[in-house]
Structure 1
Amino acid sequence: LFARIGKTYSPVSGALVKRHNVSDVMKTIHRLDEGTRFLITAPVTFKDRTTLEHLSILSQQGFARILVDGTIVSIEEVLEENTYAAEKIQLVVDRAVVRYNDEDNDYRLQDSIQTAFYEGRGECELRFMDEKPTMVFNSLFELDGISFTEPTLHLFSFNNPLGACPKCEGFGSTMGIDEDLVIPNPHLSVYEGCIAPWKGETMGKWKDKFILGASAHNFPVHRPYIDLTDEEKALLWDGAKGVKGINALFKHLESKSYKIQFRVMLSRYRGKTVCTTCKGKRLKPEANYVKVGTQSLSDLVELPLRKLKVFFQELKLDEQDASIAKRLLTEITTRIDFLISVGLPYLTLNRISSTLSGGESQRIQLATSLGSSLVGSLYILDEPSIGLHPKDAQQLITVIQALRDNGNTVVVVEHEEAFMRAADFLIDIGPAAGNLGGEIIAAGLPQDVLSHPTSLTAAYLNGTQQIPIPQALRKATGEIILEGVRQHNLKGFDISFPLGVFSVVAGVSGSGKSTLIKQILYPALKKHLEMVGERPGIHKALKGDLDAIQHVEMVDQNPIGKSSRSNPVTYLKAYDDIRNLFASEELARIRGYKAKHFSFNTDGGRCD
């Protein structure tokens, strides 16, 4: 869409950048009043020759006049005086009058305009005899002294060298001063010492000087860093008149990097940081000069889908652009509707896939399938409800039914009650697991399967069998408290996890469950117990009965074995005892077998 109808705007003046041609200039002339007198001029710059030498060449080419301070001057007169000197002149290519329905005049104007573009190296001007402003045309896609890149498909892809930010190569981050390392506790204020390098007898002077000068800029030194506005954070980092910010300290350290102590201090605060060129947007700046409506591509991908849908619904285009973009806009709005219909109206298009929850990923895949508009296809889904809240499961069922209604067949392996009740045809396999299973117990309409006398699935669905809720719940033996959790969409709350009991964290998909547990609680406990591990997500403090926890283990949905020969016995380390047992047998001792001879991972044990 941006490559087809995007308009490029100059970052200097904000004016539209356009590559003009002869027909554009002619259309402008035909809109003038008949009888209007004007000059067709071209700016000529002298680089390799003197002004007089160049004027002599222009005279030999048939040009007779130049414009000097708004006055038409004969080139021959200038050459005779032999005193004129300038780096740039306005060459008068033609003197013309607007005449309607005069083909001969139009042909002459077209030739003159073409000549002006050539002599002016892409620039042609219409100058008027009265007070009308000069009209400037450029055939080189330039404006305000900047040469712009014409929009192409590759310009808007950070996976392509033509569109990727040259500094971060499209990753959005570079090695630099890491904000999280410089400000490890954003809940502290500048006065309370939130800036780690501004501590100590020597470096503490930077903090004192900043606090003294901050009042002149109304900077709140007692406000926690996390509550500062973007403008206030910019002042703290970049400084201002009379105030040196954090970046000034690191520039000072870099200038003294021949001293080892300063190199060590710099390395202490280096890490992955947002690219300073693209501001994390991953595209080169030229891509953001191109806009559809009033928004650049980087602006649009930062909008939630619900707001993005409104933008495209209210987008106003002229007749030509509307014709070009009609099919593209239909595809875009349709796919946005699919994503919203599966319960993802809050999602932004610049979200990194690794930060999506399992439920969000599955629904995006289903929305993609729905958006492909395939007919007569067979979709096989393996337990798509894993990790989904009942509310999200119902939305997923709606999407699956839409796939079916499009003329497709959908086969789902599932044991979620809502899916089984919504099915058109239900197959129950059993009666138990492993070698006790493998039989078709019941197959048919869901209501028919529910009445089957021997189906264990039917027994739980119709309520004849239930999982009893314990009458007496276990009492907690302590608690772990997380204060001020703010990662991603978490709103800075405090939460207590009781110890010695079975706790469940519930909520709709995308509400922040995985963020709370995987990115804050687990890393925080890991770092507390072992002093190593990844940096926990943003939180104020970890408190409570921490001494009661001796070890923390994360059991997730990732495969447990990294080797293709791995199996549950090797993962549990039980094979070590089994190998030792076989190696201790009398026949094994007679043959000289060791434990390694009973391993399929070593020479002498595995089949060659």
Structure 2
Amino acid sequence: MHLDISQFSPKQHIIIKGADLHNLKDIDVVIPRNKLVVITGLSGSGKSTLAFDTLYAEGQRRYVESLSSYARQFMGKLNKPKVKYIKGIAPAIAIEQKVNTSSSRSTVGTLTEIYDYLKILFARVGRTYSPISGEEVKKHNTTDVLNYILGYPSKSKLLLLAPVYISKERTTKDILTIFSQQGFARIFYKGKVMRLDEVKEIKEDFYLVIDRIIVKQRDKDFENRLYDNIETAFYEGRGSCIIKEMEGENQAFFSNKFELDGLQFIEPNIHFFSFNNPYGVCPKCRGYGSTTGIDESLVIPDTSLSVYDGAIAPWKGTTLSKHRDELVRNAYRFDFPIHRPWFKLTEKEKELVWKGNSYFLGISNFFEKLEEKIYKIQNRVMLSRYYGRAICKTCKGKRLRQEVNYVKIGGKSITDLVNIPLSDLMSFFKTIKLMDYEHKIAKRVLREINSRLDFLMKTGLGYLTLNRQSNTLSGGEYQRINLATSLGSSLVGSMYIIDEPSIGLHPKDTLSLISVLKSLRDLGNTVIVVEHDEDIIRMADEIIDIGPFAGTNGGQLVGFGTLKDIVGMETPTAHFLNGKKTIPIPQHRRKTDSFVKVFGARANNLKNINVKFPLDCLVVVSGISGSGKSTLVKAILYPALQKHFDNYGEKPREFSKLAGHFEHLVGVECVDQNPIGRSSRSNPVTYIKVYDEIRHLFASEKLAKAKGYKSVDFSFNTGNGRCEACNGDGITTVEMQFMADIHMSCEVCKGNRFKRELLEDYTLQI
């Protein structure tokens, strides 16, 4: 299909002229601005090359080159794509499927920026509560004390007292002498007001009478005098003072130290809630949530067993089983269910087994005793069996110091909120009740939090938690989080290029995803989606069809226009859209009696289920996003089979046992979304080891033997056969300082990677 680009204006369109990278065959493409545009076509036809390697690469390159030469030296150099020109291009943002972070400190909360807003919210309107009394901790000031006094009726008689603490450095006589010299006349001791000259000896703490007050309402002179005396009371009482009724028992304690119940609390600030800042981080795990120690999954390898049946692995054998017997014998004393499976125990019951009590030795104390005598070889061997990466015992995996849990909003601490599903978190913030002044402070922050949560819910991610590590997300989840973050940033006039956002998404959530993409468009952005999903293609404003087939038979523009235009064309995409071609439903299904069965799968969201996987046939595990599909297959079935066949591999997640007809299998392989290679020299032929056989074949020829060529000489990575000018790359790079490097075909080998004599000899042979 030939497109006349001269009729389009760069003000309303992005015009691409002569795109010729990879499979693309010098094509011209026009993309309307501020529209939802879908680029579709067969896999390998050149869709991603056009969208990412051409359009996005040029958008990024132009942005970088718009910066000063000083700024550019700190940024990566971007190569100019193989295209004649691109006009009307906007700043480009790519949202790909690959997970770009490997840091264990990165979480869903930090990735979406919701956690940053939570820190601000708790620092500004969070209330600190004492863990002892449950009362709110307040830092009083002079005005608080003054308002309390003025709350009494006129002519009420009160005492303003400052506590005085006896220390070894000064005697009571010295203290009283200093007070007398300062002009104070009375103290309050054992319920009585005494004059200083009447006091003989005091060995206990007492109170200094700062002022005897007779309340006067609406008297400015009285209030000014009282204000000065309250400040004096705070100073003499080292941050504390007391208001006591002279003719009653009531009294009120005030402190400007942010303390209560004898505890000194930390005043909340933003850094206090950060697990990347030394001020708020857990001192044990330093914000990672886990430490090197006794791994619970190794101590309790089979959680389907009860304590009575031997769930605790180290408490087996003739010698160490005495600890288990001790627990079983005394369980009736503290009502512990010894016959209940471990995974059905409550958190409190599990904690009891680990900590122990006066009737039995807990698991933690058991290992501590082993560590005390680590010089014994048998103890070192025992400890090595159960050492691994364990959840931090200090913060329980919450990453923050213990004091952070005292600060709450709506009865919840920040550690409570980051460990609940996003759907529950959204409900919490929708129904949260704040006081008027708190609402004014938190209004903007709450709007940002609710906006991002709303986008995450629309993209089907309501099952995640903010504390979920980013490097455990699938490619589709990571992509949709980036999509929600982009919507939250509210950028306009940009060009978003998105790679198959429907991957990993259940069909029921597709309409929500489309509404998100349209919201991004309606903000004033150009949204370009590389996609195969029929629903998204049908909802697009414009469709660009690349094809007709894959590889060398693709790379051409075969369709351009609205859905109505595309449906009337003779292309593979159009044939499926208009119903000329369909994927037939099989008339007969393959049946088999052999299977592999997983019993008691209960990791993450799985609720102790038994699943049978038929063998010798195609099996599909389906369900909505977050239902537990990947956990069942990738985290339980695959590592369990790997251990069965190879006796090594990753540790499977929680399940009871694996059974089935293993004689039908010889091994297990996992094919996932991770890239197959990272080296620029790697290609499909070298990856599947076919090139090794090709080299051996050439080396076995008579001419190769006559000239002394070996198999290694036919490699472009090593050996004497590769081109010495480009070291087998086929290209040479010319550095252009602050501008993008220029890559040119090697002048010696003309891009063929090998020496001329090797090529000449074998060109004749071929």
Write out per-residue CA displacement over residues 306-357 of structure 1, whole angstroms, 9 at most, x where no aligned residue.
3322322322222211111111122222222222222233332222223333
TM-score, structure 1 normalization: 0.95
Instruction: Tell me whether 1:11 sits opposite 2:11 in the alignment.
Output: no
The match for 2:180 is: 59
State how far apart, in whole Å, the 2-side matches of 1:344 and 1:556 are: 20
The match for 1:601 is: 717
The answer to whether the Cα contact below 8 Å between 1:486 and 1:493 also exists between their aligned partners in 2 is yes
Q: Which has the higher contact order (CA 8 A, sep 6+)?
A: 2
State how far apart, in whole Å, the 2-side matches of 1:554 and 1:306 are: 32
The percentage of counterpart residues that share the same residue type is: 55
Write out per-residue CA displacement over residues 477-528 of structure 1, whole angstroms, 9 at most, x where no aligned residue.
6111111111111121111111111111112221111111110010000001
The answer to whether the Cα contact below 8 Å between 2:477 and 2:504 also exists between their aligned partners in 1 is no
State how far apart, in whole Å, the 2-side matches of 1:267 and 1:52 are: 63
The answer to whether the Cα contact below 8 Å between 2:460 and 2:505 also exists between their aligned partners in 1 is no
Q: How does 1:386-425 map to 2 (within 5 A)?
A: 386-425=503-542
Larger CA deviation: 137-146 vs 206-215: 137-146
Task: Please list every run of 5 or more consecutive structure 1 residues that lacks an aligned counterpart in the other structure.
Answer: none
The match for 2:203 is: 85
State how far apart, in whole Å, the 2-side matches of 1:603 and 1:91 are: 93
The match for 1:549 is: 665
Larger CA deviation: 123-132 vs 150-159: 123-132
Write out per-residue CA displacement over residues 272-317 of structure 1, whole angstroms, 9 at most, x where no aligned residue.
2221111111111111111112111111222323332232232222
State how far apart, in whole Å, the 2-side matches of 1:268 and 1:400 are: 51
State how far apart, in whole Å, the 2-side matches of 1:235 and 1:563 are: 51
1:578 to 694, 713, 719: 694
1:538 to 654, 670, 690: 654
The match for 2:680 is: 564
The match for 1:500 is: 616
Write out per-residue CA displacement over residues 159-187 of structure 1, whole angstroms, 9 at most, x where no aligned residue.
11111111111111112221111111111
The answer to whether the Cα contact below 8 Å between 1:477 and 1:500 also exists between their aligned partners in 2 is no
Aligned residues: 603
Write out per-residue CA displacement over residues 416-454 of structure 1, whole angstroms, 9 at most, x where no aligned residue.
1111111111121222222222222221110221111x2
State how far apart, in whole Å, the 2-side matches of 1:247 and 1:305 are: 34
State how far apart, in whole Å, the 2-side matches of 1:132 and 1:304 are: 50
The match for 2:196 is: 75
The match for 2:742 is: none
**What's the CA shift for 1:575?**
2.5
The match for 2:371 is: 254
Counterpart of 1:77 in structure 2: which amino acid? E
2:428 to 311, 324, 327: 311
**What's the CA shift for 1:38?**
1.2
Write out per-residue CA displacement over residues 146-204 of structure 1, whole angstroms, 9 at most, x where no aligned residue.
22111111111111111111111111111222111111111111111111111111101
State how far apart, in whole Å, the 2-side matches of 1:600 and 1:45 are: 84
**What's the CA shift for 1:570?**
1.5
Instruction: Tell me whether 1:294 sits opposite 2:411 in the alignment.
Output: yes
**What's the CA shift for 1:29?**
1.3
1:211 to 283, 304, 328: 328
> How has the CA–CA distance of structure 1 residues 62 and 599 changed in structure 2, closer, same or farther, with 3 Å as cutoff?
farther
State how far apart, in whole Å, the 2-side matches of 1:600 and 1:150 are: 64
SS in 1 for 2:193: strand
1:322 to 439, 454, 457: 439
2:644 to 499, 503, 528: 528
State how far apart, in whole Å, the 2-side matches of 1:16 and 1:460 are: 65
The answer to whether the Cα contact below 8 Å between 2:311 and 2:342 also exists between their aligned partners in 1 is yes
2:480 to 360, 363, 375: 363
Write out per-residue CA displacement over residues 340-395 of structure 1, whole angstroms, 9 at most, x where no aligned residue.
22223333222222333333322222222222222332211122222322223332
The match for 1:27 is: 147
State how far apart, in whole Å, the 1-side matches of 2:678 and 2:475 are: 21
Counterpart of 2:170 in structure 1: which amino acid? R
The match for 1:169 is: 286
SS in 1 for 2:309: coil
Larger CA deviation: 130-139 vs 146-155: 130-139
TM-score, structure 2 normalization: 0.76
Instruction: Tell me whether 1:285 sits opposite 2:402 in the alignment.
Output: yes
State how far apart, in whole Å, the 1-side matches of 2:673 and 2:475 are: 10
1:332 to 433, 445, 449: 449
